[in-house]
Amino acid sequence: MSQPMLKTGVSIPRRGLMFVLSSPSGAGKTSLAKRLLASDGNLFLSVSMTTRPKREGEVEGRDYYFTSRPSFEIARDGGELLEHADVHDNLYGTPRAPVEKWLAEGRDVLFDIDWQGAKQIVSAMPRDIATVFILPPSMEALEARLVKRGKDAPEVIARRLRNAAAEIERSVDYDYVIVNEEIDAAEEELRAILSAERLRCARRTGLPQFVDSLAAAGKEGA
Ligand code: 5GP
C-alpha cells in the first residue's frame, strides 16, 4: 500500500479519501480532474456507468462504462452501485467494488459526479468524503465552453444550460467552492484542498500510534 510520506520519510497510515468534484457541464471539471490524476500517484478515478451515448473521442472503461438502460437497472437493483442518479435524462452511477477496494488500500478516489450522487455518498460515508463544487466565472463563459467543445448537439447544449442554474444552486451544500476563471489557478486551489483533506486527523488511522511513539521517546529522553 502506498502511503504519502512526510518529508522525514515517516509514513503514517490513513484511510482513503473520497474526493468528489461536481459542476455543471462546461465548468472545466473534467479538465481539472485529468490534471490532478496525471500528476498524483495516489489518486484513482472512479469510472461511472452511464446510459448516455458515447461522445466522439470517449473510450469505454476510461471515460465511462457505456451500458443499456436494462443492464444499468440490473446493476443498480443488485446493489452494485454506490450511488446513482438521473442526469439530463440519462442514468449515471458509481460502481461500488473498485471504490471499496481502493479505500481499503488507503488510496484516494476522485469522483466526477453530480450533486445527487454527492449527497448520497455524504449520507452513506460522511467521514470519508470531501466535496468540491466548480463554478464557472459567468453563465456566458459556461455557454461559450459548451459550444466550443462542440461535442453536443445544440438542443443538448440548450438542455444542459437550462439544468445548470439548478445545479449551481446546489454548490452551497459542498465543503468547498472553486471559481474556475483560469485553469492553472483553479488547479492549484484544488490541490491545496486535496493536500489539506489528506492531513485530517480523523483520516490518519496511524496517527495515535505515531504520537504515542513520539511521546514515549520524549519521556525516555527526559
Ligand atoms: P456528462 O454526460 O457530461 O459526462 O456528465 C453529465 C453529468 O453527470 C456531470 O455533471 C457528471 O458529473 C455527472 N455524472 C457522471 N457520472 C456520474 C455518476 O456516476 N453519478 C452521478 N450522480 N453523476 C454522474
Tell me the pLDDT tens digit for each residue of 12-38: 999 999 999 999 988 999 999 999 999
Q: Residue 2: which pLDDT band, with cuts at 50, 70 and 90?
A: very low
Amino acid occupying residue 38: A
More confident residue, 221 or 117: 117
What digits encode the pLDDT tens for the residues 172-198?
999 999 999 999 999 999 999 999 999
Q: Quick one: pLDDT at residue 4?
A: 53
Nearest ligand 1 atom to the CA of 167 is 10
CA 114 and chain centroid, separation: 10
Measured by CA distance, the residue closest to atom 11 of ligand 1 is 113
What residue owns the CA closest to ligand 1's atom 23?
113
Evaluate if residue 213 carries a pLDDT over 50: yes
CA of 114 to the centre of ligand 1 (A): 5
Q: Whose CA is nearest to atom 10 of ligand 1?
A: 114
Q: Environment class of residue 104 by beta-carbon count within 10 Å: exposed (0-12), middle (13-18) or buried (19+)?
A: exposed
Domain ranges across the chain: 18-46+108-204
The rounded Å distance from CA 112 to ligand 1 centre is 6
* Protein residue with its CA nearest to atom 14 in ligand 1: 113
Atom of ligand 1 nearest to the CA of 117: 22
- At 78 the pLDDT is 98
Determine the pLDDT at residue 98. Answer: 96
* Contact predicate 193/177, CB 8 Å: no
Our answer on whether the CB atom of 189 is closer than 6 Å to any ligand 1 atom is no
Find out whether the beta carbon of 167 lies less than 6 Å from any atom of ligand 1.
no
- Lowest-confidence segment of 33-37, 111-115, 146-150 by average pLDDT: 146-150
Q: Is the pLDDT of residue 99 over 70?
A: yes
User: Reduced to 3 states, what is the DSSP secondary structure of residue 47?
Assistant: coil
Q: Tell me the CA–centroid distance for residue 130 and ligand 1, in Å.
A: 17
* Grid cell of 96 as nine digits: 461500488
Strand pairing category for 176-179 and 90-95: unpaired
Closest atom, ligand 1, to C-alpha of 52: 2
Q: Which residues contact 170 (CB under 8 A, 6 or more apart)?
A: 22, 115, 133
Determine whether the shortest distance from the Cβ of 112 to ligand 1 is under 6 A.
yes
| pLDDT of res. 163 | 87
For residues 132-144, average pLDDT: 94
- 128 pocket-lining for ligand 1 (C-beta < 6 Å): no
Q: How far is the CA of 87 from the centre of ligand 1 (A)?
A: 7
CATH number of the domain located at residue range(s) 18-46+108-204 in this protein: 3.40.50.300
Least confident of 63-67, 120-124, 218-222: 218-222
